[in-house]
Amino acid sequence: MEHPTPVDQPVQNPLTLVMTAKSPESYEALRQIVAHVQSLPPDQNPIVVALDKIATVHFARFVFLGDQRLAVITTYDGDFDAYINEFINEIGDVFNSLLQHMQDASPLPVQTYREEFLQFVRDHDLRCEPPFYSAYPDRTVLDITATAASVG
């Protein structure tokens, strides 16, 4: 099997967004919000619907880290800034429901205060220790799902 041609950087990027709840009560409220969203069937789940449409997120997960911290960890294609408007358009309400409980949150709603939300993400995104390993550095969500569709 041929190894793929090395590229400078994979098309995929890591988001490691770590946010701190305002209080233990807020942390508990976040647990309830996340549990509720995660329990919804896919076609009624605002995260699934949004991410399917955005078509740049390979994987996404919530992780409660303790110490009142919630992490949103994803692998996504391309430049976060370039698609921030589409991202906010589709999934902004989910972030509104989370950010209302967070310390140092950007002003809400995120749909109105977009530059501020982008700065919040930059400030709280731990990304990774480079380089970010990818087994398929040039394959986007769009490439992979198109292939999957064509082979049925």
Binding-site ranges for another protein (CB under 8 A) = 11, 53-56, 77-79, 82-83, 85-90, 92, 109, 111-112, 114, 138, 140, 142-143, 145-146, 149-150
Of 27 and 95, which has the nearer Cβ to another protein?
A: 95
| Tokens found for residue 46 | 């605002």
Q: What's the residue count for the chain? A: 152
d(CA 117, CA 132): 24
Of 30 and 88, which has the nearer Cβ to another protein?
A: 88
In the complex, minimum distance from the CB of residue 64 to another protein, in angstroms, rounded to a whole number: 29
In the complex, minimum distance from the CB of residue 68 to another protein, in angstroms, rounded to a whole number: 29
In the complex, minimum distance from the CB of residue 5 to another protein, in angstroms, rounded to a whole number: 11
What is the chain's alpha carbon radius of gyration, rounded to the nearest angstrom? 17
Beta bridge partners of 71: 18, 63
In the complex, minimum distance from the CB of residue 73 to another protein, in angstroms, rounded to a whole number: 20
Omega into 109 within 30° of 0, i.e. cis? yes
d(CA 86, CA 102): 23
